[in-house]
Structure 1
Amino acid sequence: MKSQLMASAATTPSSPTISVNAPTISQQQQQQQQQQQQQQQQDNNQQEDHEREHHDSLLPAPAVAFSHALRSLNDLDGGVGGIGFTGQHNPIAYNSPYSQSIPSTAPGSPRIPPIRQNSGCVTPRIRPHATTLNIPGMTRSRVSPDGRIPERDVAAKLVIIMVGLPARGKSYITKKIQRYLSWQQHNTKIFNVGNRRRIAAGVTHKGDQPAPTSADDHDGHDPHDAPKRAATILLKGKDAPKITLEEDEPTTLDLNEHQDGSVPKDPIDQSAKFFDPKNETAAKLREQVAIDTLDELLNYLLHQGGSVGILDATNSNVHRRKLIVEHIQQREPKLGILFIESICHDQNLLEANMRLKLAGPDYKDKDPHKSLADFRERVKAYESAYEPLGKWEEDNDLQYIQMIDVGRKVIHHRLRGFLTAGIASYLTTFNLAPRQIWITRHGQSQDNQLHKLGGDSGLTERGHYYAQALYNFITFKRKEWLIEQKNKIASSTFPPAPGDHTPPYPELYQELDDKNFCVWTSMLKRSIESAEYFDADDDYDVKQWEMLNELNAGTFEGLTYEEIAQRYPEEYQKRSKDKLHYIYPGVGGEGYLQVISRLRDMVREIERITDHVLIIGHRSVCRVLMAYFMDLTRESIADLDVPLGMLYAIEPKPYGIEFHAYKYDEVEGWFQELPNYRPQRTTDRNN
């Protein structure tokens, strides 16, 4: 049987049959597999197109079988080191696909814009925004592109409430604060309760000319006429500035009206009896006037773009201050509140303040002796119910500053904001010493001749002549001023008689002979050379300040305005439209707001020193300093006309400043005073 099977197998042609049929079956299977793969690929493509069309979400990465992935790795590199397939670590080849970034074939995810409202949280933001410092020209944000306090940041705004007995210098302090903050480009305004009280009582009428209470509010008058309107109220026989309300203030209050709506013909008595705490009718009037004035202040802060409002009144007891705080918190609880109290223990200082009061609106054109007696009775009436800042404010965690004898001693409590801290620092610089502040530009420089911006060229021959004339004139005026002050003291009387020219603080004039004279220049050649004659005289103290340097023109340094207009017409137009906020392009480029910021410490130093000072600066620096001392509007700063050859003299006074202007006469080599001179806008828009 076995042999038969072997013979059959040897003679049966089975192998050739299999070799013919096998390739046919294999080809059919491959074709079927290819068709299935093509169909699957088409289905996948259709599915992907459908998903891209109807879905806007990121697709997951395509799935890959783990075994297939391992097999691919072994095929490419002969195994993966560290996994155990070959037992050896094989570094990836330079041309390996793992050394290259393989672009994804998945569709791109849609761009989702950021959500600012609540950072992606479900619950909307309920905490207040941060109230960090805002400095125009030095800070910028989405809500405050110009650096001012934005309307949204109510907590950064400030209500300043003055506290103090009459003749303690409250109005002097408020005007200084308003001028300083406005110069720093913070919208600031004073709201004087006494002005409203006089109108409510029928003493002052709305038709009288008002005194401006903010740098941007001059009621139609020339904004550069601040010195003239700050009339010499100290001198008897001259008109004091007339005071009234703003255009939107009522001329009368319903408290003064009869039941039928008529107004009494006779005004309410404004003598010391009106301020007696026992006078209930007068107390009710004063309280209503205070709240009405406060409402006007709050409207300014909350609806009219104001940043700081100053309530100028006595606010002499806790009851009144509590009423004010509660009213503010009812209107807007997030508003900042700062009390500033002025206290005077120095009898000489009190006498000087009374001298100023006797020339004020309550006693104008009245007998000085009777006025003095009445005013002292008024002060006694307030003193009987006066309560200084202290326990109540501290128990309620309120910010306050106490100034004693006009800055001789300063007490702070809980100062938390940038504005309050800056105000406190500024108040410590106050002094009432008589002195002169002189401001001028350097002599003509070589770049001035070529009309070039910036640079560091020296003086021309004409510039050196100016430097010598400046030294001679200042030396002469220094001696003349000393003689005048001594003559005024020799003829002083109290109470002041008509025509009395007594200085407001006679005790401060006792050291006139020991007063130094400082000369400050920038670090640029043209300014330094303009002080060369002062530097050679040991009686002058000369110092160079980098912060007094001219505004840096950046890329445009050394060019003329005509060249800028030709090469950079867009930049030229931008500057022409808004010189105050414009910043020169390029490294170190500045604008006027940057100059204001770097001169902040300079202004505080000028306020602090008791000596005379001459500042030999540049156009932008002189403009900014003049704007501060003369309380000019922000629109006037960048266009103020300060040509070469002009010399300005400023004497700080309790009621404002005394201002004089002199023009250089090249022929005479001397300076001539320009009577009734008022700063004005330049006619050349390039400068």
Structure 2
Amino acid sequence: KKGKGKKAFPPPRVPGRSPPVPAAAPRLGAGVPSVPRAGAAPLITSWAADGGVSSGGTAAGCPAWVRPSVHPPVHPSVAWASYMTNSPTLIVMIGLPARGKTYVSKKLTRYLNWIGVPTRVFNLGVYRREAVKSYKSYDFFRHDNKEAMEIRKRCALVALQDVKAYLLEECGQIAVFDATNTTRERRDLILNFAKENAFKVFFVESVCDDPEVIAANILEVKVSSPDYPERNRENVMDDFLKRIECYKVTYQPLDPDEYDKDLSFIKVINVGQRFLVNRVQDYIQSKIVYYLMNIHVQPRTIYLCRHGESEYNLVGKIGGDSGLSPRGKQFAQALKKFIEEQEIVDLKVWTSQLKRTIQTAESLGVTYEQWKILNEIDAGVCEEMTYAEIEAKYPDEFALRDQEKYLYRYPGGESYQDLVQRLEPVIMELERQGNVLVICHQAVMRCLLAYFLDKSADELPYLRCPLHTILKLTPVAYGCKVETINLNVEAVNTHRDKPSLNSVSPGAEFWLLVQAVTKHLPSLNTTKVRQ
């Protein structure tokens, strides 16, 4: 119930304890990160067993789930990452151009941030374009172009220094180095860099020999690249294919049998047709492998909508298991007509196990699946109450939720953070599937939408998901296209805007004061203060 809003999703929460609040994770596309400053403070903050913060020095207030304490101190030249369970991880992409490395990098980063692991992509192409303002032709990538090779190496070193700054000074947990990294020399340089800074390394190699997939990738992504402002499809295709040939001359794939047998990596072959996994080190690497084995690039559409208006919606009650109102039933019929008109191939329909979503799906006249994990957020003691009743009976709880809606957990219920953890299997299945219609609830829909649109923990609880409206999500190259479809059936408005900063309820003033104090005193045990 505590914590200040942050830009990255917080870590999973230990039942019965207030969660640590991580530092903000920068958003993708925020530009080239800064070079690390000199004299950074040592990272020795740790969280006490009772949920508070132990005494000791800090660096940007990093909690222990981001950086473990080291006793005794380890010399920088020693690779203690081999035995530090929670060392930061550097994910290194490998592969020829147009093999989907940036697609995987951005998608993986979006997923990791959504589950609460602060992650950022470092795309070497961005650094190269900063160093070389105008791209001339594929000649820049020839292995015998010594001047260009030196520029590319310097760009890689600058990017790695920014990786270091992010992981050691900005409380990042995972950095994704998005580059070709096709030579052993370059990969050895990265491994030495990681060893010096005690980072774990996990390689992701994308291998593709399907000419149709490569051509489609070039046309879909590279035509709009800043390298080709003229956007001439034929010229882009010709130049880019020659660029690929330049890389092929020196390309050394990962060798799982000899040279690279001791490395941790996954080879993704022909966009997920086959996988080769080698020496997975820890839990987070296993999560990465599992995620990469579930995603695909086939065209599909995901439809998200809430149930029809319910009887409890009419009276402003939250939770419960009420049936549809007359207008809710009207929406169900309108939804049936819409789905029939779309003529969607092999559409799967998923609902929760609550009456209002089931009644909405029943009207479609199609087979549907019920998922318990799609049930609405559990409001605990506040179930079947209106917000006015909650404010009157539990004024402090009401105020606390307004101040930190993502982390706040209803007494005996759930928080949005809990809900994200609960919905992770749904995300995995949505990534595996083709066309799917998910009939769910407001909080659930917000969590799913935040994943696909890469929204932060601050934004998630306030995403607009109105009744009787369909959101059509179409995955595209580096994101997701969203279309809003209103079926013109009136319904009550259940959205509550984010409260303004000056609308703090008196009942929450003390706890907000504690938050302000602990922000400047990271060694204070906030759990004990609250008690």
TM-score (normalizing by structure 2): 0.77
Aligned to 1:578: 404
Q: Deviations over 1:560-609 (max 9, x none)?
A: 111111111111111111110111112xx111111111110110101101
Of 355, 358, 368 in structure 1, the residue corresponding to residue 219 of structure 2 is 355
- The answer to whether the 8 Å contact 2:442/2:465 transfers is yes
> More deviation in 635-644 or 613-622?
635-644
How far has the Cα of 1:555 moved from its partner?
A: 1.1
SS at match of 2:341: helix
How far has the Cα of 1:393 moved from its partner?
A: 8.2
Alignment of 1:301-450 (within 5 A): 301-330=167-196, 332-333=197-198, 335-356=199-220, 357-390=222-255, 397-450=262-315
Higher relative contact order (CA 8 A, sep 6+): 2
How far has the Cα of 1:541 moved from its partner?
A: 3.2
How far has the Cα of 1:135 moved from its partner?
A: 4.5
Aligned to 1:451: 316
Of 427, 440, 445 in structure 2, the residue corresponding to residue 617 of structure 1 is 440
Aligned to 1:293: 159
Aligned to 2:354: 524
How far has the Cα of 1:547 moved from its partner?
A: 0.5
Q: Deviations over 1:192-219 (max 9, x none)?
A: 111110110123xxxxxxxxxxxxxxxx
Aligned amino acid, residue 603 of structure 1: I
Q: Deviations over 1:87-141 (max 9, x none)?
A: xxxxxxxxxxxxxxxxxxxxxxxxxxxxxxxxxxxxxxxxxxxxxxx94235768
SS at match of 1:531: helix
Aligned amino acid, residue 414 of structure 1: R
CA distance in 1, matches of 2:64, 2:433: 30
Aligned to 1:472: 337
SS at match of 1:452: coil
Q: Deviations over 1:504-525 (max 9, x none)?
A: xxxxxxxxxxx31111110000
Tell me whether 1:282 sits opposite 2:148 in the alignment.
yes
Tell me whether 1:137 sits opposite 2:13 in the alignment.
yes
Aligned to 2:120: 189
- The answer to whether the 8 Å contact 1:439/1:648 transfers is yes
- The answer to whether the 8 Å contact 2:310/2:323 transfers is yes
Of 45, 67, 70 in structure 2, the residue corresponding to residue 151 of structure 1 is 67
Tell me whether 1:554 sits opposite 2:380 in the alignment.
yes
Aligned amino acid, residue 470 of structure 1: L
- The answer to whether the 8 Å contact 2:109/2:121 transfers is yes
Q: Deviations over 1:231-277 (max 9, x none)?
A: xxxxxxxxxxxxxxxxxxxxxxxxxxxxxxxxxxxxxx541111111
How far has the Cα of 1:366 moved from its partner?
A: 4.3
Tell me whether 1:590 sits opposite 2:414 in the alignment.
yes
- The answer to whether the 8 Å contact 2:88/2:200 transfers is yes
CA distance in 2, matches of 1:682, 1:202: 46
CA distance in 1, matches of 2:440, 2:96: 41
- The answer to whether the 8 Å contact 1:138/1:597 transfers is no
Tell me whether 1:683 sits opposite 2:497 in the alignment.
yes
Tell me whether 1:541 sits opposite 2:417 in the alignment.
no
CA distance in 1, matches of 2:258, 2:439: 46
How far has the Cα of 1:156 moved from its partner?
A: 3.4
SS at match of 1:634: coil
Alignment of 1:11-410 (within 5 A): 135-138=11-14, 143=47, 149-152=65-68, 155-203=86-134, 270-330=136-196, 332-333=197-198, 335-356=199-220, 357-390=222-255, 397-410=262-275
The verdict on how the C-alpha distance between 1:395 and 1:311 changes in structure 2, with shifts beyond 3 A counting, is closer
CA distance in 2, matches of 1:456, 1:394: 59
- The answer to whether the 8 Å contact 1:517/1:541 transfers is no
SS at match of 1:566: helix
SS at match of 1:189: strand
The verdict on how the C-alpha distance between 1:384 and 1:362 changes in structure 2, with shifts beyond 3 A counting, is same
Aligned amino acid, residue 349 of structure 1: V
SS at match of 1:397: coil
Q: Deviations over 1:344-399 (max 9, x none)?
A: 02221111112122232212314322222211111111000000112598657321
- The answer to whether the 8 Å contact 1:149/1:157 transfers is no
The verdict on how the C-alpha distance between 1:452 and 1:394 changes in structure 2, with shifts beyond 3 A counting, is farther
- The answer to whether the 8 Å contact 1:149/1:156 transfers is no
Aligned amino acid, residue 474 of structure 1: I
CA distance in 2, matches of 1:462, 1:343: 52
SS at match of 2:459: helix
Tell me whether 1:662 sits opposite 2:526 in the alignment.
no
Aligned amino acid, residue 441 of structure 2: H
- The answer to whether the 8 Å contact 2:47/2:64 transfers is no
SS at match of 2:253: coil
Instruction: Decide which structure has the larger Cα Rg and report it.
Output: 1
The verdict on how the C-alpha distance between 1:321 and 1:393 changes in structure 2, with shifts beyond 3 A counting, is farther
CA distance in 2, matches of 1:148, 1:625: 28
Where structure 2 has 5 or more consecutive residues not aligned to the other structure, the ranges are 1-9, 21-45, 53-62, 70-83, 501-531
The verdict on how the C-alpha distance between 1:685 and 1:470 changes in structure 2, with shifts beyond 3 A counting, is farther
Of 403, 426, 431 in structure 2, the residue corresponding to residue 602 of structure 1 is 426
SS at match of 2:66: coil
Where structure 1 has 5 or more consecutive residues not aligned to the other structure, the ranges are 1-133, 204-268, 480-514, 670-680
CA distance in 1, matches of 2:173, 2:422: 22
How far has the Cα of 1:625 moved from its partner?
A: 0.4
SS at match of 2:93: strand
How many matched pairs? Answer: 432
CA distance in 2, matches of 1:583, 1:156: 29
SS at match of 1:473: helix
- The answer to whether the 8 Å contact 1:272/1:374 transfers is yes
Aligned amino acid, residue 302 of structure 1: L
CA distance in 1, matches of 2:367, 2:268: 31
The verdict on how the C-alpha distance between 1:576 and 1:366 changes in structure 2, with shifts beyond 3 A counting, is closer
How far has the Cα of 1:165 moved from its partner?
A: 0.4
SS at match of 1:339: strand
CA distance in 1, matches of 2:178, 2:338: 41
SS at match of 1:638: helix
Of 623, 627, 630 in structure 1, the residue corresponding to residue 453 of structure 2 is 630
Q: CA RMSD in A?
A: 2.3
Aligned amino acid, residue 268 of structure 2: M
How far has the Cα of 1:179 moved from its partner?
A: 0.7
- The answer to whether the 8 Å contact 1:318/1:392 transfers is no
- The answer to whether the 8 Å contact 1:556/1:564 transfers is yes
SS at match of 2:126: helix
TM-score (normalizing by structure 1): 0.60
CA distance in 2, matches of 1:552, 1:544: 17
- The answer to whether the 8 Å contact 1:170/1:342 transfers is yes
CA distance in 2, matches of 1:198, 1:347: 27
Aligned to 1:215: none
